[in-house]
């Protein structure tokens, strides 16, 4: 992602020059600005602003997931990416959870599967009963034991967008077509860090409308709005190709 920001900041990268051993995101020695630290900060700032604007920075509402009675041994596994209310959006945290049997709501105790494995806990063979704990593994929730009677899993969850781990990473919580929305916001944030750089200031002003439009598109998608006929990436890229004159 640093590669993308540099390219659209009119900076030629080592990868573009075909320097042997160059990797995506490497900083060019001939053009130190923007620095990797500045770009990383810009991306995280863009993610933070998007989460706040869309309303993902905090999700205090208690959500509910009805579950039928189970007869199989072992935990009941729930795909967090498919829970109603978050279509196509993966939950990335469960802050608190309860099991409600229709009469009583019981707080579930969070555990870590690897910790249970280390002590040879037989959670995979527990008979169905009253759930009293849960674990998160990847994008799956393990409810233990499986409920022997129907009830409702109640939970406080987070589905906020998280920043990338490295330059080849993506934003897992959104479709890839919408990555460009956050990257455009990041580009503006990075350019604003260099107010004395004429080219950076020009680009911050140039792409500010695109950043705003990208945020609106991202918000519309998350809130269930219909997708545009043309993906955001195609809209943005066509414009950038016409504008982009690189500094070498």
Buried b or exposed e, range 39-59, using 16+ CB within 10 angstroms:
bbbbbebbbebbbeebebeeb
Report how far residue 240's alpha carbon sits from residue 169's, in angstroms, rounded to the nearest whole number: 22
Does 241 have pLDDT greater than 90? Answer: no
Residue 87: pLDDT band (50, 70, 90) is: very low
Residue 53's pLDDT is: 84
pTM higher than 0.75, yes or no? no
More confident residue, 102 or 226: 102
pLDDT exceeds cutoff 60 at 89 = no
> What tens digit of pLDDT does each residue of 122-178 get?
999 999 999 999 998 877 889 999 999 999 999 877 667 777 766 776 776 677 778
**Could you tell me which of 24, 28, 23, 25 has the C-alpha nearest to residue 11?**
28
Q: What pLDDT is stored for residue 122 in this prediction?
A: 94
C-alpha span between 45 and 182 (Å, rounded)? 10
Task: Answer whether residue 101 shows pLDDT above 60.
Answer: yes
Cβ 31 vs Cβ 12: under 8 Å: yes
């Amino acid at each position: 992602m640093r590669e993308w920001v540099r390219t659209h900041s009119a900076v030629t990268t080592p990868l573009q020059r075909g320097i042997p051993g160059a990797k995506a995101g490497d900083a060019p020695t001939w053009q130190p600005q923007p620095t990797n630290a500045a770009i990383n900060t810009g991306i995280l700032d863009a993610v933070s602003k998007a989460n706040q604007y869309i309303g993902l920075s905090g999700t205090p509402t208690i959500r509910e997931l009805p579950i039928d009675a189970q007869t199989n041994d072992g935990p009941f596994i729930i795909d967090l990416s498919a829970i109603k209310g978050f279509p196509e959006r993966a939950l990335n945290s469960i802050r608190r959870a309860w099991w409600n049997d229709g009469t009583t709501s019981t707080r579930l105790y969070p555990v870590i599967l690897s910790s249970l494995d280390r002590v040879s806990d037989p959670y995979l063979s527990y008979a169905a009963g009253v759930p009293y704990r849960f674990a998160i593994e990847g994008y799956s929730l393990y409810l233990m034991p499986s409920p022997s009677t129907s009830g409702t899993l109640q939970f406080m969850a987070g589905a906020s967008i998280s920043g990338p781990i490295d330059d080849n990473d993506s934003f897992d919580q959104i479709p890839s077509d919408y990555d460009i929305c956050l990257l455009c916001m990041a580009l503006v944030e990075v350019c604003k860090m260099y107010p004395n750089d004429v080219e950076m200031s020009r680009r911050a002003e140039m792409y500010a409308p695109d950043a705003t439009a990208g945020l609106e598109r991202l918000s519309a998608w998350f809130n269930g709005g219909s997708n545009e006929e043309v993906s955001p990436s195609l809209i943005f890229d066509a414009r950038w190709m016409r504008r982009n004159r690189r500094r070498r």
